[in-house]
Amino acid sequence: MSRLTQSPAWIALEAHRHEIADQSLTGLFSADPGRAARFSIECGDLFVDWSKQRVTDKTMQLLRTFAVQSDVAGWRTRMFAGDAINNTENRAALHSALRDEDAIATEDVRTVREQMRRFVESVISGDIRGARGKPFAAVVNLGIGGSDSGPRLVAHALHGLGESGLTVRFTANADAADLDYALDGLDPATTLIVVASKTFGTVETVNNARRAREWLRGTLGASAETHLAAITANRPAALDFGVATDRVFPMQDSIGGRFSVWSAVGLSAALALGWNSFERLLTGARAMDTHFRTAPLEANLPIILALLSVWNTNFLGAQSEALLPYSERLRDLVSWLQQLSMESNGKSVDRDDNPVDYTTAPIIWGGTGSTSQHSFHQLLHQGMRFVPVEFVVLADYDGDSGSHDLLVANAIAQAAALMTGSPDGQPHRRSPGNRPSTTIVLRKLTPESLGQLLALFEHRTFVNGVLWNINSFDQWGVELGKGIARRLAEGHPGELDPSSAALLRRARGESGTR
């Protein structure tokens, strides 16, 4: 047994789980008229209600004791101070410094941000033009993982709310069809290609970059390179690829890709929104940073949400969590959070390289409401799996009010139905209820509120790692498969097992597959 599962706080939570095993959510609400008000917090543009979680006042107190035992406050201080909390790579985790004017490494942050601002404003104004003197009308971002999911989410969520006017598309997949879709209908003479790769060696991104460069050359010839920009920590490789010196935007080693939308990785998002809106995104995230650093334990949203996740995962037995944004603009939120959470905390050893005997990261999945209701909500209501749910709802929307009212009604109804169930009637019509959920309400979808929401999830992910005593800032499991794929793509399979060798031959259309 690990030190964590034998700790006093963990043992107390295990005992408490048995104490409240027979209590229902409907019973808790009936016995406590003030429950909804007590288990909810308004923070900036966000309102979070976790009263439909299977917790009591005692549960929350025991969870806060667990946070104290885990030294969440100390780890938080070390992260914001720039200590090397990523122990396996001896690096700090400085994503919050990207939006903090007074943070460590501010000079470097300001230099890159100023380079971004000048470029974004010059492209949007037409001061920077393409090879044939035409202003840029479109941007295609080539990245993968964090170099794609964050800027894609921001650009789609805030589309039309900024002042840019540029068409911005994203491609990540090694499948050639993905880039073909992104380039379809665009004019090379007015298209800017942004290559985002920390190493400038990510196979999928570099391959897409070569194909995009050839697409440009087919129209622009030797002038194609003037339509390239790069975001990377490997400046020499970008220059060798043909990117102009003033269009290489640095990435810091201390910023993990999944935490990097606030950095130069956000360049394409800034081009989609305009610089003012991108700054507002940073402002919103900075407000959540301040809340996380200063709010007391009992009112600290990232810590509360992290503790609830641990309660559901490690004590109530959840293997997954569903995220249901009731907003088409937030359709990319699920895939972004999947990477943020599972790449950060999908670990099987603790900070001291000891095997863990507890689940670390639940599987994150979901989809947008109300379409998800006609896909997998049947399982949520009547299935045999225990799946806590997070709803994300917009209180105000600049669009058709009738459609928005219908959307909100569906979200609230789903949360209520998960809790109450339908105990009467024929067996096949019954739903057991007592299924927990949290609802996050954004006052309105703006750059500030989106920044707050993303920073909230970032900090929750970090706190989860602290509670599980793991390093949330490395991803060695990702590197394993990438290394094998690189060898196969280069024609050096090495010692490949018989099944994989045969599959490789078959997938390549080679004869004699066995």
Answer yes or no: is 1 within a domain: no
Q: Are residues 252 and 341 in the same domain?
A: no
Answer yes or no: is 102 within a domain: yes
Q: What is the pLDDT of residue 511?
A: 60
pTM: 0.95
Answer yes or no: is 286 within a domain: no
Question: Residue range 422-447: average pLDDT?
Answer: 93
| Distances in whole angstroms, Cα of residue 368 to Cα of each of 325, 347, 364, 445, 469 | 5, 28, 14, 15, 32
Banded pLDDT at 160 (limits 50, 70, 90): confident
Q: Which of 348, 289, 365 is nearest to 468 (CA)?
A: 348
Q: Name which residue leads in pLDDT, 494 or 386.
A: 386
Answer yes or no: is 432 within a domain: yes
* Residue 434, amino acid: N
CA separation for the pair 151, 164 (Å, rounded): 15
Q: Are residues 253 and 119 in the same domain?
A: yes
**Is pLDDT at 297 greater than 50 in this prediction?**
yes
Answer yes or no: is 299 within a domain: no
For residue 370, cis peptide bond before it (omega within 30 degrees of 0)? yes
The first and second tokens of residue 463, run together, are: 């706190």
Q: Are residues 118 and 264 in the same domain?
A: yes
**Is pLDDT at 304 greater than 80 in this prediction?**
yes
Q: What is the pLDDT of residue 489?
A: 79
Answer yes or no: is 301 within a domain: no
**Is pLDDT at 102 greater than 90 in this prediction?**
no
Question: Residue range 389-396: average pLDDT?
Answer: 96
Domain of residue 256, CATH code: 3.40.50.10490
Banded pLDDT at 509 (limits 50, 70, 90): confident
C-alpha angle with apex 162: 158 to 168, nearest 5 degrees?
70
Q: What is the pLDDT of residue 104?
A: 64
Answer yes or no: is 434 within a domain: yes
Domain span including residue 233: 95-280
Answer yes or no: is 86 within a domain: no
Q: Name which residue leads in pLDDT, 19 or 254.
A: 19
Banded pLDDT at 501 (limits 50, 70, 90): confident
Banded pLDDT at 45 (limits 50, 70, 90): very high
Q: Name which residue leads in pLDDT, 427 or 321.
A: 321
Q: Name which residue leads in pLDDT, 107 or 7.
A: 7
Q: By three-state DSSP, how is residue 171 classified?
A: strand
Q: Are residues 258 and 159 in the same domain?
A: yes
Percent of the chain exceeding pLDDT 70 equals 99
**Is pLDDT at 252 greater than 90 in this prediction?**
no
Q: Are residues 117 and 237 in the same domain?
A: yes
Question: Residue range 189-207: average pLDDT?
Answer: 94
Asked if residue 293 lies in contact with residue 146, where contact means CB atoms within 8 angstroms, the answer is: no
**Is pLDDT at 126 greater than 60 in this prediction?**
yes
Banded pLDDT at 314 (limits 50, 70, 90): very high
Q: Are residues 356 and 421 in the same domain?
A: yes
Structural domains of the chain, count: 3
Question: Residue range 14-18: average pLDDT?
Answer: 97
Q: Are residues 243 and 350 in the same domain?
A: no
Q: Are residues 254 and 335 in the same domain?
A: no
Tally helices (H) and strands (E) across the chain. 20, 11
Q: Are residues 354 and 440 in the same domain?
A: yes
Q: What angle do the packed helices 301-310 and 447-467 form, to 10 degrees?
A: 50
C-alpha angle with apex 179: 178 to 183, nearest 5 degrees?
125
Residues involved in catalysis: 343, 374, 482
**Is pLDDT at 338 greater than 60 in this prediction?**
yes
Q: Are residues 315 and 438 in the same domain?
A: yes
Q: What is the pLDDT of residue 513?
A: 47
Question: Residue range 21-33: average pLDDT?
Answer: 96
Q: Name which residue leads in pLDDT, 215 or 495.
A: 215
Question: Residue range 29-49: average pLDDT?
Answer: 97
Q: What is the pLDDT of residue 424?
A: 80
Q: Are residues 483 and 463 in the same domain?
A: no
CA separation for the pair 252, 94 (Å, rounded): 9
First to last CA, the chain: 45
Q: What is the pLDDT of residue 401?
A: 85
Please identify which residue in the block is written with the tokens 């939120």. Answer: 333
**Is pLDDT at 512 greater than 70 in this prediction?**
no
**Is pLDDT at 461 greater than 90 in this prediction?**
yes
Q: Are residues 178 and 325 in the same domain?
A: no
